Amino acid sequence: MSETETGTGSSPGGPRTVGRRERKKAATRKALADAALRLFLERGYDDVSVKDVAEAADVSTTTLFKHFPGKEALLFDEDESLESALVAAVSERPPGQSVPAALREHVLRTRLDAKPEFARFLALVDTTPALREQARRMWIRHEAALARAIAADAGAPEDDASCRALARFALEVPSLVRGTPDPRDAIERAFELLEHGWHARPVAPGPGGGPQRAS
């Protein structure tokens, strides 16, 4: 243990830092999450019981449930950074770029060009129905934050219905394109719909043809 904190006992009134206790709590929490990810990747989600995870982290199952509300939550422990990245993709987008285009680029970047470590995680989630649902639920929870960012950008009321709709639809895209043969094309088409609407859809029939794109 590294003692890098200020002594609380000898200096009352000083900045009350984290405390040994909370550090230990965070440590066991991390041990649980790490053990869970490792075991799930090794043997598959359904072939690992919460008892296994708890024993691998050297705690009891009761303690595990004090840290995580359920088995699925063991895998989705750090999604706050995802939310801030999502908001930043809108609020700090390059000048001249529309909001749907910024979201499209963000989705393309994070889902298609994922680094291999994260890709293994995505593959595990994709192949487990229970985790697919949980992943989507966690993902959609960012709707409110994203809708706020969009509304602020567009100068609309904070709870504007159109902004909420755009946020929800954009967040739904990863789930929508899951399992399609050409995910990149599917993502681009979905955001094209959000950008210009069904009304402006190219009506040229036939696959492979190059219909005029209003970008």
Partner DNA sequence: TAAAAAAGTGCAACGAATCAACTTTCTGAC
Partner DNA sequence: GTCAGAAAGTTGATTCGTTGCACTTTTTTA
Q: Which residues bind DNA (CB under 7 A)?
A: 8, 16, 19-22, 24-25, 28, 48-51, 58-63, 65-67, 69-72
* Contacts for 134 with CB less than 8 Å, ≥ 6 apart: 72, 73, 75, 76
Task: Using the rule CB under 8 A, give the single segment among 20-28, 78-86, 98-106, 107-115 that binds a copy of itself.
Answer: 98-106
Q: Cα separation of 170 and 174, whole Å?
A: 8
Q: Cα separation of 215 and 213, whole Å?
A: 6
Q: Fill in the per-residue mask, 150 to 189: x = in contact with a copy of itself (CB under 8 A), - = not in contact.
A: -xx-xxxxx--xx-xxx-xx--xx--xx--x-x--xx--x
Which residue type occupies 51? K
Q: How far is the CB of 10 from DNA (least distance, A)?
A: 12
CB distance 171 to 115 below 8 Å: no
Q: How far is the CB of 141 from DNA (least distance, A)?
A: 17
Q: Cα separation of 153 and 103, whole Å?
A: 13
Q: How far is the CB of 52 from DNA (least distance, A)?
A: 7
Q: Does 126 bind a copy of itself (CB under 8 A)?
A: no
Q: Cα separation of 189 and 22, whole Å?
A: 47
Secondary structure class of 69 (helix, strand, coil)? coil
Q: How far is the CB of 4 from DNA (least distance, A)?
A: 14
Q: Does 197 bind a copy of itself (CB under 8 A)?
A: yes
* Contacts for 50 with CB less than 8 Å, ≥ 6 apart: 61, 64, 65, 71
Q: Which is nearer to DNA, 69 or 209 (CB)?
A: 69
Applying CB under 8 A, which residues contact a copy of itself?
98-100, 133, 137, 151-152, 154-158, 161-162, 164-166, 168-169, 172-173, 176-177, 180, 182, 185-186, 189-190, 192-201, 203, 205, 207, 210-215
